[in-house]
Structure 1
């Protein structure tokens, strides 16, 4: 069969221009364009792992495409799929290699998921480069592997459609163009400034390469075809040249737009600027609403986390969450519906460059009693590293406007970090200004109708000489605000030994106050201040001990009041929730703080403390009056219900044990089922198509052999003989007689004679005759296959040419054909 296939291949290639030179030039041209695309995409990854992934993808894609003429299109495509998954899991997911060498089962699963999901993740990630973060190398590996395979397979294997191979290679430049930055790096060439720099250079290189390749193909084919005579052949030549010209026009137009963009330096739309990150912040609870829980006896002296490596005198406070939107009930992170800064959260790829000038800070956090999605982060984040915990490393998001750092990994029903987690944080702490004008553009509407008490107090400040448009004036106003308040963390202060822990730290009389920071609560606070508005001192005396104390509350209320006060003047402000960093780095519940940030007209944000003083108790408003002036809903007294554990302790313990066993049982099931399902998915992807082909051929053979009529079974054996030869690569024309077929294959003519007899003779064919003929066919096929190499046998076994051939001849695949005696 091998000699027949070589002869057929030579006949097909005669006069088409194919050969060693044709193959070498087309393959080399494809590789050059792919290398240009890979260089263009370097800023997206900027890592050695990317170089390895791109190189392996191009080499394997080209290699499999070059063996396509030998093994067949279908077999090469199936081989390409298998190699794509296997090599992709190895080079595109380096973090999941076993001993750093072999891809793990988890790597295969991550790669297959990445084929679908990593494109969106790459388009919405916070910054570039991304290195080998998560499965973000999968898009690059996919583009270059299939770009190499398709471009070489088509350009080498087809003359008429070969220009599509050129377009396939050139189209890989769309990947860096779409997934890179909207603006490039400036570059000067021969004294001419190019705003888009290197991106422009790679665009020109791809354009020139594609045009040169198309021109060479056209010239080479034209020289080969000029010798051809006949009108029809020249007609086809003109058609090919027309298609080639069209391809040149397409490449010229597309590449021309790239060059124009590079020269003008205008920003262009890319996927990164068009796709919004899909992180839902609407379900995130505002940490300011949970502020007072840290001052309960359970958490007051509880170690939340420990910070090592940070200088408390430099860091001061560690922000947990910056809240830039207010809805009259809570201060929270802004959503698109808020009309504020619309903070979007983007995936952090391990690390990112930070341009902010300032002092770099780096510290390690060991989590104890704290849990939640908010990470204690100082300044502009550069990197967050949880070590070997990939779940946490792969779910770090950064707020584009606020700079909040959150971790959305969910483990055991807990969202974010929890006790036992450790991470290293690196960021840049920007220097704070000491003076300046506040920036316009308030994000919260504060009207006199809705906030009459706040407006009244603000007007009194202005009348007293406080300039609320400058940093110094606002600082004085907030100092007066906190100096006029008295620190109180709960609505019940108890008495004697039953007093909360926080009251024992005051050294003065503890006062009760309501929680919350709604419009009503803040208006009540300003109402208390307005009762002593006549005693407002001049700005220079805002921090004096002579200031009257009237308002009760803590940072939750006073930070909100300060932010709304500034917003009422049309200036920008926001609330920050975080912790005061102790000297020893051990952060307790009592270290929780909230403060306000104001924005200056240079774009910088400045922190202003908003904790009310605790040395001088209220002198104008008594606690009882305070609670009456700020009414809250009185809950009815309910009868005390004894907990079930006290009613029947043994039953409660039994139920608890059952719950624990049930949870552990499901956890064990989850650990077992997920790897099994993942393994099945990989097996289906890799081995599903080959197994389906083997099953189809097995069913076809069995149906042919088990035909009711022995003569029909003999014809089925002949069909099996021909189909096996066709799948092995033998070209058998539909017009060939059975004798011509066996002669072409070098097989005994008796096989053709018996089949003809079964088809046309009136002589009875017995079941024994059918069995003997099937045995003879199997023996002849074994003889023919014995001289073939193993990959040829594998290719023939998985090839579908015989199915396609019979469908094209209008014959049923499984047999039962009314065969003409002199044809196959």
Structure 2
């Protein structure tokens, strides 16, 4: 066989070399996407393996099915090329490597267009170029060696090139010359292969190639990137930020609930750094929020690859952040962020759910941060330009959504900017004018000041007897005043960092703040702080109350109360319609066998599918039906049912907090079910934070007021996060076994529940009979 391979290669080495090089060059547009030397290894390895497989198949005269089977074996044996970070030493594949590449065959294409470059070599990202090189080279060389139409061998590399361009970036510097090289090289090889290339034409072909390279490079440099079609620019990646409440709406909660408690602990905080939480540029008359991605760049959050920014610069600061009392999806960062690296127990899940917006310099983790989470931020702290530098700089033209601003904003703008002649003077006049107001959080012992920043609250601030509020109201008001006179602006929420120290810095709820940013050409978004000093306190003159009795008026009788709705049933019958037998048709034996095997598999899997469908329907009903408090209680019932499906017996008389502690404690012990051949291993489920969820459930069901829709959405997000962390703790195999368990679908069997029903709405939310 070796002799036959040498003989074939000696006769057809030109075809093998040219086609392999064409595929390799067609993969060049992936270079700016991955930004890692591992790409070269994966692409070159895939091309060499594909060429070797085609040569062996040609010598052994393998058929199509044999070639497919051999390709699958090669893909598995050399799977470390597609997922090097999971292999031993980056070379020896492990079961995790094989599984990652197997998933990457399907999922790596989506990840390439939904993750911000550079992608690096993490996960199974490199599976796509590795698979393209392997399949395209094997197909091209096989066609050239084993068919009478060798020119068809050019089809695979010519398909790889547009694929790599579509999955690449908007940078055309490399794509245009690469396309010309592939086209000219393919033309030369085709002419030579068909015998149409004469000796006198080689010089002209060389000049043509050189001219094409120079022209293509020039076009790539000068061409605007706006007209370039790449998939990552046409795909709106998740998540939808409308599913999360605006962080500015919960501004007063930090001061009220955690005024002296550490919300974040930051180590290595540089001087003059601003801890940024969220950037808000859309106002609907109720709250400042993040606009849609189609309206402006502030809503376009994408997953990151190896790091956020492709190129690192000098003077970067590495800061370690430890989460305290803070809880939410927004990830606090600082300055211009180049990289975010999660550490600690829940690092993998947080990194997998992390999205970043380069336009605003903010990020979110849909798994939600919680107490004890840690991460490192690599960032640059830019200096704020002086008023002299901004004097001649024009405002930048940025796309922002239309803001619904109250009439008081226009009136205040006219008053404060009457003597200002430039945009910078108007901005400064509005900032200084608002700073003449008075400061108050509205807490006990302070001047009354309502929370919120809706249109009515802004009207009260700007049109009342005196301006009284905190950073939430003043930042929202200044941004609206600027919008009313055509100056682009946005609100930023974050934390006011104290002076830099050598050790860790604790940021408390009293350090939460908000400010306004305005864009200038050449300087970017510049910060402004309209909030008055905290020592500016308004002393309201309280007049002596007078006794003015009101005449008695006969009150109408109260309206009749409607009968309460019956709680939704915990289970509904699932109807399975039996398909009518089809008429017998003449089918090949292979089709009959495949249909029989497939039918048997469907028959075996049907009960499991029904169980999963019933549980999904039950979860949807708990999340969407009933009052807001009932939906909160339904979220806790979902967690308890999952625990029951995992084989955990929770006392029915236990409170929610006690039940959460029992779940964590039960998972920490080895399984005691003697019916199983193997006992379940102990599991550390402390990172699931079930106790915190139980406390939040009690607050939503027993609180003095009904929770609003934003609270319910946020609560169910925390439920999903708890279940996700629980899945990570118990492992994929045990988790999926619990998904098809029927323990949570069985009735209680007549056992008495010693715990008194606290309320009808709690019972309805849990879906109990």
Deviations 1:773-813 (A, max 9, x none): xxxxxxxxxxxxxxxxxxxxxxxxxxxxxxxxxxxxxxxxx
1:601 Cα deviation after fit: 4.4
1:370 to 311, 322, 326: 326
Deviations 1:365-400 (A, max 9, x none): 222222322222222221112258333334332224
How many Å separate the matches in 2 of 1:352 and 1:310? 20
SS of 2:178 mapped into structure 1: helix
2:87 to 97, 103, 111: 97
> Contact 2:324–2:370 at 8 Å: present in 1 too?
no
Partner of 1:611: 531
Cα pair distance change 1:206/1:200, threshold 3 Å: same
1:41 Cα deviation after fit: 3.1
Partner of 2:184: 208
Partner of 1:178: 166
Say whether residues 1:307 and 2:259 are aligned partners: no
TM-score using structure 1 length: 0.60
Deviations 1:581-616 (A, max 9, x none): 123422111111111112224462111113333324
Cα pair distance change 1:462/1:357, threshold 3 Å: farther
How many Å separate the matches in 2 of 1:573 and 1:28? 58
Say whether residues 1:115 and 2:96 are aligned partners: no
How many Å separate the matches in 2 of 1:154 and 1:590? 71
Partner of 1:287: 247
How many Å separate the matches in 1 of 2:102 and 2:736? 10
> Contact 1:369–1:419 at 8 Å: present in 2 too?
no
Cα pair distance change 1:158/1:182, threshold 3 Å: same
Cα pair distance change 1:30/1:417, threshold 3 Å: farther
Partner of 2:758: none
How many Å separate the matches in 1 of 2:544 and 2:237? 50
Q: Which of the two has higher C-alpha Rg?
A: 1
1:590 to 479, 498, 510: 510
Structure 1 residue runs of 5 or longer lacking an equivalent are: 10-17, 185-195, 223-253, 494-508, 532-549, 626-643, 645-649, 680-824
Partner of 1:61: 50
1:48 to 29, 32, 37: 37
Partner of 1:166: 154
Partner of 1:566: 482
Cα pair distance change 1:677/1:518, threshold 3 Å: closer
How many Å separate the matches in 1 of 2:221 and 2:377? 43
Partner of 1:329: 286
Cα pair distance change 1:475/1:623, threshold 3 Å: farther
How many Å separate the matches in 1 of 2:214 and 2:662? 67
Partner of 1:579: 495
> Contact 1:320–1:404 at 8 Å: present in 2 too?
yes
1:29 to 18, 21, 34: 18
SS of 1:307 mapped into structure 2: strand
Cα pair distance change 1:428/1:659, threshold 3 Å: closer
Partner of 2:138: 149
1:320 Cα deviation after fit: 0.9
SS of 1:351 mapped into structure 2: coil
Deviations 1:421-452 (A, max 9, x none): 232332352543423354566846567xx623
Cα pair distance change 1:177/1:474, threshold 3 Å: same
How many Å separate the matches in 1 of 2:437 and 2:183? 71
How many Å separate the matches in 2 of 1:580 and 1:103? 48
Q: Higher relative CO (CA 8 A, sep ≥ 6), structure 1 or 2?
A: 1
> Contact 2:113–2:232 at 8 Å: present in 1 too?
yes
SS of 1:386 mapped into structure 2: strand
How many Å separate the matches in 1 of 2:734 and 2:74? 22
How many Å separate the matches in 1 of 2:100 and 2:439? 55
How many Å separate the matches in 2 of 1:613 and 1:676? 56
> Contact 1:372–1:418 at 8 Å: present in 2 too?
no
How many Å separate the matches in 2 of 1:623 and 1:255? 85
Partner of 1:77: 68
Pairs within 5 Å for 1:194-343: 196=173, 198-219=174-195, 262=220, 265=223, 267=225, 268-297=228-257, 299-312=258-271, 314-315=272-273, 317-336=274-293, 339-341=295-297, 343=299
> Contact 2:343–2:373 at 8 Å: present in 1 too?
no
How many Å separate the matches in 2 of 1:108 and 1:606? 49
> Contact 1:357–1:428 at 8 Å: present in 2 too?
no
Give the number of aligned pairs: 549
* Aligned-residue RMSD, C-alpha: 3.9
How many Å separate the matches in 2 of 1:52 and 1:669? 35
Pairs within 5 Å for 1:689-768: none
How many Å separate the matches in 2 of 1:594 and 1:624? 37
1:556 Cα deviation after fit: 0.9
How many Å separate the matches in 2 of 1:354 and 1:219? 47
Partner of 1:527: 463
SS of 2:187 mapped into structure 1: helix
1:569 Cα deviation after fit: 0.6
SS of 1:282 mapped into structure 2: helix
How many Å separate the matches in 1 of 2:158 and 2:397? 49
Cα pair distance change 1:428/1:623, threshold 3 Å: farther
How many Å separate the matches in 1 of 2:231 and 2:543? 58
Deviations 1:165-189 (A, max 9, x none): 22213332224322233333xxxxx
Say whether residues 1:471 and 2:424 are aligned partners: yes
> Contact 1:364–1:423 at 8 Å: present in 2 too?
yes
Pairs within 5 Å for 1:681-692: none
1:570 Cα deviation after fit: 0.6
> Contact 2:474–2:531 at 8 Å: present in 1 too?
yes
TM-score using structure 2 length: 0.64
SS of 1:525 mapped into structure 2: helix
Partner of 1:755: none
Say whether residues 1:432 and 2:385 are aligned partners: yes
Cα pair distance change 1:143/1:256, threshold 3 Å: farther
Structure 2 residue runs of 5 or longer lacking an equivalent are: 199-211, 546-632, 634-650, 668-722, 738-769
Pairs within 5 Å for 1:781-796: none
1:399 to 348, 357, 366: 357
How many Å separate the matches in 2 of 1:295 and 1:165? 69
Cα pair distance change 1:121/1:156, threshold 3 Å: same
How many Å separate the matches in 2 of 1:55 and 1:355? 25
Cα pair distance change 1:561/1:64, threshold 3 Å: same
Deviations 1:259-285 (A, max 9, x none): 996597354322233333343111122
1:109 Cα deviation after fit: 3.2
> Contact 2:440–2:448 at 8 Å: present in 1 too?
no
Cα pair distance change 1:524/1:167, threshold 3 Å: same
